[in-house]
Structure 1
């Protein structure tokens, strides 16, 4: 029996993780969760998973405290949920906030199922240094593309190229001029994946793929990353080797496949409501390299593949602020890329390699972005 701590239980990845855990209670025990501000399903979760001993929430839940008296409800120091008796940490937190969980899980040498790609975007070098120091820690990427790459790797053969696939989002066929007419409803309508609002917008702008490039760079230690538009999201990514052969991982687009794979790694185990590819139907595997002049975030990310992380930090921070502003109808969709690009190109290359310095620079960029959105000089 392995003890599991789930950060971000109320988000999309968190909910799918709970589905996997619900049908595997003989193998995994959920002992702690975080839900942040989204507490609508919390009571149901606590009724279902009787072994939970601690809950992190950033809002008041006095009614649940009175009902579940044996559970410790906390609102500070979220990283303290990583107990010594925990075996697996699932980091399904969205955004920069998830970085502290990634770092703490490594320091405590846990198995980390990491869906927080921002950790690698802003602190990839720091994570690698910590992994060299805390050698028992293991990180598995809960992301369909990086899970695919992981499965395609060969121990004795070096990577020649990584082909990172992208659906292209709902606006893959629109020009830069045409996206000026995009509204919030359109941007939240992803053609293939059911995701939270933030990552759905990131997919539409292609910032999500930009962040995945940086994650792949740090995870698999290569700059040879080529992004391909693949509208059907059947091929989740590919690895090319020196002899020109390419291995690809294919499956129906479903994040539960990824979560289930790493929970049971190295075994492959069927999961409830699993859907398999149907080869009685014609599969369209159309692939085309992404136009970096159309999807500028891709070009920005490829410009961050070095030892300096200041531009990656600024890209992530500015994007988080801009996406929130767009969701609140404060800016237009096309302005997300414009504002982030402006800040990105005025940022000097500096390496921030400790948590406090990364946080300080992240805060500075957020303040600058808010100022630009408000039109301050």
Structure 2
């Protein structure tokens, strides 16, 4: 029986991973030994009691938490996730933490686990080549969980030919049918009303702006070492991605829009042991639309910086700051793109040497992220004033 640690156990992906691990084959082959949360101590206590966890981490807490709870070692503070992961020394680590903080979670997972089931796209977006090079050096497996990258990963299984093109699919998000001129003043509730997927708040906002697809563009470039990447809108999210080969053949990954499917595959790979509902493909049309860059300017910007690790890092940092401000009602939806654009341009001025620069250490990754966040915060303060 293999041990597994879930970083971000209380979040959307973490909770769905727990559902997967309850299923017959999974509960017979895996034991959850640890997990982490950002600040939800109640949910963490619940997980400790339910799964008899060996070690847990909580990053931020207002409570006076002891070092043990019900026989479980408890780590607190900014490095709590990494320390609890190291304490557990799991066979597999599933990284479901959101945002830039996941970079260091992933690096620790590579240190201690043979397989990293990766749902934190920022690990590759912000670190560029660094995280994947580090995993290769230690001979660790990284299996992507994002539905698009899981799809591409599966489509390339058994292939010896490199595809000419990757085609990422997108739902178009909650605002896909709004007039472009109306996007400036949409409400938070409108943005969070996703037509297909059930996700966390940040990723739902990012879906509406296609920042999420921008991050997936960066991630696909590093994971599959291909720069020729298109994006197509598939409204019902039945086609999760495609690969096109030199003979014109296009392979498509078809399936229901449910994150438990790629989560399960990342754990059971190379086998398929997850039993789930089957789509009725006779009753659904497969239809694709081109992306309108006037509606999704963030994606256009993303293409212009593809392969430039510091600028991709800045892109993500600015979005994290801007989305948080939008969700708090401090800025407008359209200000998210403006914040990203401003930040990327400022970082480009400061790092003129950075074209296709490779990150060689975590300190440089952290430095660019910190500078980018300060630029984004300063710009947002100007917008608010």
User: Does 1:43 find its partner at 2:66?
Assistant: no
Aligned to 1:294: 295
Q: After the TM superposition, which residues 211-222 of structure 1 pair with which residues of structure 2 at under 5 Å, given as runs? A: 211-222=215-226
Judge which range, 219-228 or 14-23, deviates more. Answer: 14-23
Moved runs in structure 1, 4+ residues, more than 3 A?
A: 60-66
User: 1: CA distance between counterparts of 2:42 and 2:176?
Assistant: 34
- Mark the runs of 5 or more structure 1 residues left unpaired by the alignment: none
Q: Is 1:160–1:242's contact at 8 Å kept on the other side of the alignment?
A: yes
Greater helix proportion: 2
Aligned to 1:354: 361
Aligned to 2:150: 147
- What is the DSSP-based 3-state SS (H/G/I as helix, E as strand, rest coil) of the residue aligned with 1:231? coil
Deviation readout 1:286-305 (Å, 9 max, x if unpaired)? 10221233311212222222
Judge which range, 159-168 or 56-65, deviates more. Answer: 56-65
User: 2: CA distance between counterparts of 1:85 and 1:74?
Assistant: 14
Number of positions where the alignment pairs a residue of Structure 1 with one of Structure 2 = 370
Aligned to 1:191: 195
Give the deviation of 1:284 after TM superposition.
2.2
Aligned to 1:315: 315
Deviation readout 1:324-372 (Å, 9 max, x if unpaired)? 0001111011111112112223332423432111112211111111111
Aligned to 1:134: 138
Alignment RMSD: 1.9
- Mark the runs of 5 or more structure 2 residues left unpaired by the alignment: none
Aligned to 1:229: 233
Aligned to 1:277: 279
Deviation readout 1:148-192 (Å, 9 max, x if unpaired)? 101111431111111100000011123432101310000111110
Give the deviation of 1:94 after TM superposition.
0.3
User: 2: CA distance between counterparts of 1:279 and 1:243?
Assistant: 26
Judge which range, 193-202 or 99-108, deviates more. Answer: 99-108
Give the deviation of 1:209 after TM superposition.
0.3
Q: Is 1:10–1:39's contact at 8 Å kept on the other side of the alignment?
A: no
Give the deviation of 1:270 after TM superposition.
2.9
Q: Is 2:89–2:112's contact at 8 Å kept on the other side of the alignment?
A: no
Aligned to 2:306: 305
Deviation readout 1:20-50 (Å, 9 max, x if unpaired)? 1123322111111001112343333223212
Q: After the TM superposition, which residues 305-344 of structure 1 pair with which residues of structure 2 at under 5 Å, given as runs? A: 305-306=306-307, 308-344=308-344
Q: Is 2:166–2:243's contact at 8 Å kept on the other side of the alignment?
A: yes
Aligned to 1:96: 100
User: Does 1:172 find its partner at 2:179?
Assistant: no
TM-score (norm 1): 0.93
Aligned to 2:9: 9
TM-score (norm 2): 0.91
